[in-house]
Each structure stands twice: as structure tokens, then as C-alpha cells.
Amino acid sequence: MSERSCLAIVLAAGEGTRMRSARPKVLHEVGGRSLVAHVLDAVRAAGSTATAVVIGPDAEAVAAEAKHVLPGADIYVQSERRGTAHAVLAARPAIERRTDDILVIYGDTPLIRPQTLSRMRAALAKGAAIAVLGFRPRDPSGYGRLVLAQGELVSIREEADASADERAIDLCNGGLMALAGANALAILEQIDSNNRKGEFYLTDAVKIARAMKLKAVVIETDEDDVRGINTKSQLAEAEAVLQQRLRKAAMDAGVTLIAPETVFLSADTKFGRDVVVEPFVVFGPGVTVDDNAVIHSFCHFIQSHIGKGASVGPYARLRPGAELGANVHIGNFVEIKASVIEEGAKANHLAYIGDTRLGAGSNFGAGAIVCNYDGIAKHRTDIGKGVFIGSNSALVAPVKIGDGAYVATGSVITHDVPADGLAIARERQVVKENRASRLRALKGAGKKKAAE
């Protein structure tokens, strides 16, 4: 397959008005990734050698996302919405380069699997001029129907133009099409707009190919592959399907998910071997978990790395740039942002650590926090190896705590502490003997008076 060149044309000009959103449709997300990014990932994985993204006018944000995901993608603008074939021809310069295969795919079908695209390409390699992706939806209304004769595809009838007999066909057009590059332009140029909607239908390519004595075939797949997103409900349905796939892939790769249906993954979540994830954990984008780590319940992670054998949670929050080394322990109600927690360090209870290095083997006590923000700018804290930060301390950044230092409980640290230094930065305790009973008597008298 790889020796055949392949152009993928991604149609992303949809207005997406039914999303009721200011955001372009294909920039909505499933699995923490935009719809169009999923499609671009799939065409790349299916071996495309060039990619053209067709966008609507004023869709710079879509162009930027496409370039971000696939820097080599070429952007074409369809300035008027005149049908799917018209959209494909917006990428004419790319088509004229005559790759072996051309894949046309919609930017709002994020669940398309690379192996499905590969099957379509394989049909071209076997001599078909067109391969159409067919499926049997529970409710076929709105879809183009695939008209077959002797196992070959004869035409696609859009619902608006179909007869009653044709509407009874349950095999529908999923919308994806593979065309042999050698004939593609000749076919596309013959498509007209003589139909109910007055649009240039890509689907007419089939009957034109037949008239040219070329072969068209159907590749059948399941509904999930071709799910197009038009509404927020469909977005949520696609998310559910994607989550099932991601959970299964993680378990197939050896991750233990105790209650998989309660764990939410991102398309790019990466796990090592023998990781255990307890129920109710959310993995946002950009999270990597190394071998033997244990993630306890109710954690939320974004753009973070969890080292080998680490134990995290329950109730831990890792924000962008949290880097946990091997065997680190992060306990309940601990938030970490843009910080390196070195091997074996611990923050077991109720802590905030931001813009910090916490050295190897150090202990960050219960309720201790780093004050990294002074209301104007963020500042760094550097804590060495083997340091003890006493409970409920506040480290006012920028500040450095040397190796082996000891910060007494309840300290407010505003100056650097040298290696092996003991810092006590709190009010001295005062004890007044035999005064507790007097205090109670005094307060009791006051209360009685107030009640009178």
C-alpha cells in the first residue's frame, strides 16, 4: 500500500449552525482533540502523502488548527457553498498532481478509523476507479442510498432526489469516497447541478464513472465509523463511542481499568505497562503514565507526566507541566502545576505546588503551599533533595530551599534557606498557666449579660 501515493481531501467548510455555537463545527472536540484533528490523524495513519483541507470563507481558525496538526497540509478556500463536488474541486491544484489515490473525507466524522481508509485504498489498488464507504444506519433518512447491480455500485441517489423504491434501500452512503487519481479530474469535471438542491453532488461521480466504463465498489463499515457531527447531542454520542475505543485500547495494552466506564481518556493518553487506574479518573490531553504507576480514584490530569511506580490520588489534580518522577507519592487534595517532583518525593495531603522543583526524596507537608503568584507575576521555588517542608508552611516565591534543609511547621518562608538549614518562621508560642478556667469564666459572664 505504502508505495501508492495518496492525496486526502478533507472537507471542512461546514457552517455547523445546528451546534448553536460561535465556534466552527470542526473545532469542537471529542477525546480532547478537535474533530478535524481526528480526521487528519486518520488520513495520516492511512498513509496519505499529501493532504488538502477545504475550508469556508473566514475560517482562519480552522486553517490554523489543520496546520497545527499537520504542518504539511495545504489549505483551500471554497468561497461559495455549492455542493460536495464543488468543494472537492476547490482543491483542484492538488488533484492535478495526480496521486495514485484520492480520499475524500468530511471534517466532521472524527471516528473514521485508519484501517477503514486503508480498505478503501485497497479497492483502488485492485482496479476500482471509485470506492464508496457504505453502512446500514438504524435510520437512513437524510443519507444518500447506494444502488447496486450484480455486486457493483451503479449510482448514489440523494434522498431529496430518490424514488420511493430507492428510499427503501437500507445501504447508505457514509460520505467517504476514494477515487483513482488517474480519472478523478475527468469524472469531477462532468458533475453538474441538475438536481433538487441545485448542488454539485460528489455522489454523481459514481454514475459518471460507470458511463466511462470504470468500476465503482462499496466498502461496507459500521455506523460508528461514519458518524457525522451536526449537533451537541451527536458530539456526545461520538464521545461515548470514542471513549469505549480508547478504554479498550488501553486495556488491550495492559492497563488495568477497574471500572472502565468511569474513566475518561484523551486520544493522546499514553500508558506504560501494569498501570492501575481506579474508578472515576479524568485524563485530559497530553498525559503520559509510566509503568507500574497507580492512579487512585477521583483524579484530574492535564498535560502531565507520571513516572514509574508513582502513586497519585485519590483526589489529586495535575495541571499543565506537572512532571512526577519515579516512585513519587501525591495524595489527596494536592494540586500541582508546572513543577518537577523528583524521584521519591512526597506531597501526601492538601497542598499546592506551582512553578517549583521539589527535590528527590523531599517531603512536602500537609497543608503546605507555594505562594507562586504575587498578584502581578509568577515566581519560582526551588526545593533541594531530602528537604522537609513542615505542615501548613507557606513558601513565598521566589525562594530557594537547600538540600537537606528543614522548614518548621507553620512557617512563612520569605528568604532562602541554605542546605541543612533549619528555618522557623512563625510567632513564638506563649503559655499562661492556670488561665484557661479564668478565661471561660470571663466569657461565660459576658454571655449571661448579653442574654439578659
Q: Residue 270, interface with ligand UD1 (CB under 6 A)?
A: no
Rounded distance, CA 80 to CA 15, Å? 12
Q: Is 245 in the site for ligand UD1 (CB under 6 A)?
A: no
Per CB under 6 A, does 4 bind ligand UD1? Answer: no
Asked if 202 touches ligand UD1 (CB under 6 A), the answer is: yes
Closest alpha carbon to 282 in 306, 293, 298, 268: 298
Question: Which residues belong to the active site?
Answer: 349
- Residue 216 in grid coordinates: 465503482
Query: Which residue from 360, 308, 304, 377 is spatially nearest to 335, judged by alpha carbons?
Result: 304
Q: Is 201 in the site for ligand UD1 (CB under 6 A)?
A: yes
Residues 278-297 that bind ligand UD1 (CB under 6 A): none
The Cα–Cα gap between 90 and 78 comes to 6
Of 41, 65, 101, 158, the one binding ligand UD1 by CB under 6 A: 158
**Among 49, 26, 38, 153, which residue's Cα sits nearest to residue 97?**
49
108 sits near ligand UD1 (criterion: CB under 6 A): yes
Residue 132-151 contact track with ligand UD1, rule CB under 6 A, x = bound: -----------xx-------
24 binds, among Ca ion, ligand UD1, none (CB under 5 to 8 A by kind): none
SS3 77: strand
Strand, helix or coil for residue 241: helix
Cell (9 digits) for 433: 498557666
The residue among 48 and 173 lying less far from ligand UD1, judged by its C-beta, is: 173
Question: Between residue 220 and residue 239, which ones bind ligand UD1 under the rule CB under 6 A?
Answer: 228
339-341 and 356-358 as β-strands: parallel, antiparallel, unpaired? parallel
In the complex, which residue's CB is closest to ligand UD1?
Answer: 144
Cβ-Cβ contacts under 8 Å for 298 (sequence gap 6 or more): 280, 281, 313, 314, 315
Nearest approach in angstroms of CB 186 to ligand UD1 is: 19
Binding residues (CB under 5 A) for Ca ion: these are: 228
Phi, psi values for residue 55, rounded to 5°:
-120, 165
14 forms part of the interface with ligand UD1 (CB under 6 A): yes
Q: Which of 7, 8, 62, 87 binds ligand UD1 (CB under 6 A)?
A: 87
Give yes or no for residue 175 binding ligand UD1 (CB under 6 A): yes
Range list of β-strands (E), 125-169: 130-135, 145-149, 152-157
d(CA 342, CA 348): 14
Report in angstroms how near the CB of residue 19 gets to Ca ion at its nearest. 13
Question: Does residue 81 belong to the site contacting ligand UD1 (CB under 6 A)?
Answer: yes
Cβ-based nearer residue to ligand UD1, 61 or 408: 61
CA–CA distance, 213 with 447 (Å, rounded to integer): 102
Does position 54 bind ligand UD1 by CB under 6 A? Answer: yes
Q: Which of these segments, 42-50, 201-209, 324-332, 358-366, binds ligand UD1 (CB under 6 A)? A: 201-209
Residue 78 binding partner per list ligand UD1, Ca ion, none, with a CB distance cut-off of 5 to 8 Å that depends on partner kind = ligand UD1
**82 counts as binding ligand UD1 under rule CB under 6 A:** yes
Q: Which three cell numbers stand for residue 386?
A: 531530602
Residue 224 buriedness (CB in 10 A; 0-12 / 13-18 / 19+): middle
Where on the chain is the footprint of ligand UD1 (CB under 6 A)? 11, 13-14, 54, 78, 81-84, 86-87, 106-108, 143-144, 156, 158, 172-175, 201-203, 228
